[in-house]
Chain A
Amino acid sequence: MTATESVSSPAKVSAPAIPAAKRFLRVTHLLFLATLGVQFLPDHAGITDPHTAWLIGFVLLLEVLTLALTPVFKKKESLNLFLDVIGFIFGFLLLWTLLTAKLSLLPTALFPPFGKVLSQFWEDAPKILVNIKSSVGIILQGFLLAIVTAIPIGLFLGWNARLGSAAMYLSKFFSSIPPIVYIPYGIALLPSFRSVSVFVIFLASFWPTFAGTMSGVLNVDQRILDSAKVLGVSRPTMLSRVILPASLPQIFLGCNQGLSVSFILLTSAEMIGARDGMGYYVKYYSDFGDYTRTIAGLLVIGIVVIGVTFLMGKLQGYLLRWKR
């Protein structure tokens, strides 16, 4: 072994330690103090906000969490990113408080004080959880069903050159139909809202995943295929140990696309005809003019989608850890 041959291993490069002053003296904390301080200003004439304590509690909790997590970050870039995001949240809360309770520049009915939204969260938590469970359950069912069918079929058809090119055209046709238009047919076909939703989510996830798998298989580097062929691998081994992992990056592209379309579809569908789910929650309360709950629902949907995307990203990072 010669010394000139080096291993490129990013994990081994240790980041220089961040000085404590750079770690803890940040604009984010100034924004925290400003957001906290502004809560103690008198409310605008004619407005009484009994929920200020909620906002103060939340802001304090967020700041404590931020300080607790600050030492965890090893790299300067990720610490900056984390603190910037928190800073944006403080800035948003500061602005919201000023524009609503303190200056009353926005109509109170449409823009409730944020403390009220937070207290509503707490009050409605069980209800919200039921709705999240319903939405996420439908998504998971439809999405997983799509994954376990689209990937094997895509692998098989992609590997059979002749059938594959015909299937590619068909998939282009079917994936060009917005899955939402299947809803009326689904309702006629299937017994419950839940089954219709699963069906539509399945269709919405199936085509992108299928197309991703197909293009993954068709684009596997010929040199990799040759390398496998000369090892004399069997057909099943070729598909499972060579073609599948080689196609995985493209498969994930398709899956992610399917997943984001699924959320859009499901929340839309829930707003039309459901008795459960996050879309239903938002639509139901906005019909009553209860915009506190509407805003709470919007934020919950955001958090759920971010959470699911994050988990998907983690899974992708793990399964594709071999990529540079």
Chain B
Amino acid sequence: MSTAVQTVPKIDIRHLTVNYAEKNREFTALRDVSFTVEEGEFVSIIGASGCGKSTLLSVLEGLYRQAGGEITIDGEPLTGTGTERGVVFQHYSLFPWMTTRNNIAFGIAQVRKDLSRKERLQIADTFLEKVGLGEFGSKYPSQLSGGMQQRAAIARALAMDTQILLMDEPFSAIDAKNRIVLQELLLHLWEGDGTEPRKTVVFVTHDIDEAILLSDKIVVLTAHPGTVAEIIPVPFERPRDRAELVKTPEYGAFRNRLLHLFYQDIAERIGGEEVIL
């Protein structure tokens, strides 16, 4: 997607520094991280374990406090959690004691106080249908597979109709085959049919192919402390098709470039510390 020049980016992160304390010692999780996310842009943050990518998302979610720098959303400084940001976690996005449709209706209730319970359940059913869970509304999360739980979590985030979607490794715990199915589902839901504006998405992953398929822009982080190694626009046209895309030589070259960045970071660290990918 061509980056339209806007006066104020949707999300603007400037010189972000985040510390965390562990056993009375303070560590720097992120140092001087800066990038912007434009309205309607899909941005992935990739990096090896321990690079602080999830911490970065926690700060955006409003769950973790920054030590320095500035984050603005629509030009306004970020303060705590907010219902303009929908979140999909890797685990436990859904409440185990609510049925799937009640989970979604509960999410809607937090942003749309004006709707009746019946209307909320109707919207919930519409979105369950969209993610292919039409028949599973009355099931509890424990009765669903991990992939179905993530579908439901995406349905809730979409049903809440937030401007921004924050996704923290939503498919990392899913088996390889279903992960591909879910990536394509998300791609189609997000790309839409062109009638509605696309949502702004910040997507954390350690899967390079996932990042390329979905994103307009990829932010590569290196670890200890987490800093931005490079910000790379993804040059592939939308709507994308995985099968077509992976066949092109451009895809291979682009993927190699990212892999190189990924492993360069690891090679530099491999002397001392244990590396977990």
For B98, the chain A residues whose CB sits under 8 A away are 322
Proximity string of chain B (90-109) to chain A, C-beta cutoff 8 Å, 1 when within and 0 when not: 01111111100000001100
Measured CB to CB, the closest approach of chain B to A149, in angstroms, equals 23
Contact B97 A221 (CB under 8 A): no
Contact B145 A5 (CB under 8 A): yes
Bound CA–CA A230/B93 (angstroms): 10
Measured CB to CB, the closest approach of chain B to A319, in angstroms, equals 9
Bound CA–CA A227/B110 (angstroms): 12
Proximity string of chain A (113-127) to chain B, C-beta cutoff 8 Å, 1 when within and 0 when not: 000000000000000
For A233, the chain B residues whose CB sits under 8 A away are 110
How many residues of B are in contact with the other chain, CB < 8 A? Answer: 39
Contact A226 B181 (CB under 8 A): no
Instruction: Tell me which of A82-90, A136-144, A241-249, A279-287 binds B.
Output: A241-249
Cross-chain contact of A232 among B63, B81, B93, B166 (Cβ < 8 A):
B81
B143 within 8 A of A: yes
Q: Which partner residue on chain B sits nearest A230 by CB separation?
A: B87
Contact B143 A223 (CB under 8 A): no
Proximity string of chain A (1-15) to chain B, C-beta cutoff 8 Å, 1 when within and 0 when not: 110111111000000
Q: A232-B81, A232-B111, A241-B106 are in contact. Are A9 and B89 (CB under 8 A)?
A: no
For A7, the chain B residues whose CB sits under 8 A away are 136, 139, 143-145, 148
Bound CA–CA A223/B92 (angstroms): 6
B140 within 8 A of A: yes
A172 within 8 A of B: no
Bound CA–CA A1/B132 (angstroms): 6
B9 within 8 A of A: no
Cross-chain contact of B145 among A6, A223, A230, A246 (Cβ < 8 A):
A6
Contact B106 A227 (CB under 8 A): no
Contact B92 A322 (CB under 8 A): no
Contact B178 A230 (CB under 8 A): no
Q: Which partner residue on chain B sits nearest A241 by CB separation?
A: B106
Bound CA–CA A52/B181 (angstroms): 73
Contact A227 B87 (CB under 8 A): yes
For B83, the chain A residues whose CB sits under 8 A away are 231-232
Interface centre among A223, A230, A242 (most CB of B within 10 A): A230
Q: Which partner residue on chain A sits nearest B84 by CB separation?
A: A232
Contact A226 B142 (CB under 8 A): no
Bound CA–CA A227/B170 (angstroms): 13
A199-237: which have CB < 8 Å to B?
221, 223-224, 226-233, 237
Measured CB to CB, the closest approach of chain A to B1, in angstroms, equals 27
For B160, the chain A residues whose CB sits under 8 A away are 231
A324 within 8 A of B: yes
For B147, the chain A residues whose CB sits under 8 A away are 5
B85 within 8 A of A: yes
Measured CB to CB, the closest approach of chain A to B11, in angstroms, equals 15
B239 within 8 A of A: no
Cross-chain contact of A4 among B82, B136, B142, B178 (Cβ < 8 A):
B178
Secondary structure of the A contact surface, majority rule: loop
Q: Which partner residue on chain A sits nearest B156 by CB separation?
A: A231
Contact A230 B144 (CB under 8 A): no
Q: A5-B178, A232-B111 are in contact. Are A245 and B95 (CB under 8 A)?
A: yes
Contact B148 A230 (CB under 8 A): no
A22 within 8 A of B: no
Contact A324 B81 (CB under 8 A): no
Cross-chain contact of B81 among A1, A221, A230 (Cβ < 8 A):
A230
Interface centre among A5, A233, A246, A322 (most CB of B within 10 A): A5
Q: Which partner residue on chain B sits nearest A1 by CB separation?
A: B132
Bound CA–CA A237/B181 (angstroms): 35
Interface centre among B61, B92, B94, B145 (most CB of A within 10 A): B92
Contact A230 B140 (CB under 8 A): no
Q: What are 28 residue pairs bridging A and B, where the CB atoms are less than 8 Å apart in the complex?
A: A2-B177, A4-B178, A5-B147, A6-B145, A7-B136, A7-B143, A8-B144, A9-B139, A9-B143, A224-B95, A226-B61, A226-B63, A226-B89, A228-B95, A229-B62, A230-B62, A230-B86, A231-B160, A232-B81, A232-B82, A232-B83, A232-B111, A233-B110, A237-B110, A241-B95, A242-B95, A246-B97, A322-B98
Beyond known contacts A1-B133, A224-B95: 19 more, CB 8 A cutoff: A2-B178, A2-B181, A7-B143, A7-B144, A8-B145, A9-B143, A226-B89, A227-B92, A227-B93, A228-B95, A230-B86, A230-B87, A232-B81, A232-B110, A242-B95, A322-B97, A322-B140, A323-B142, A324-B142
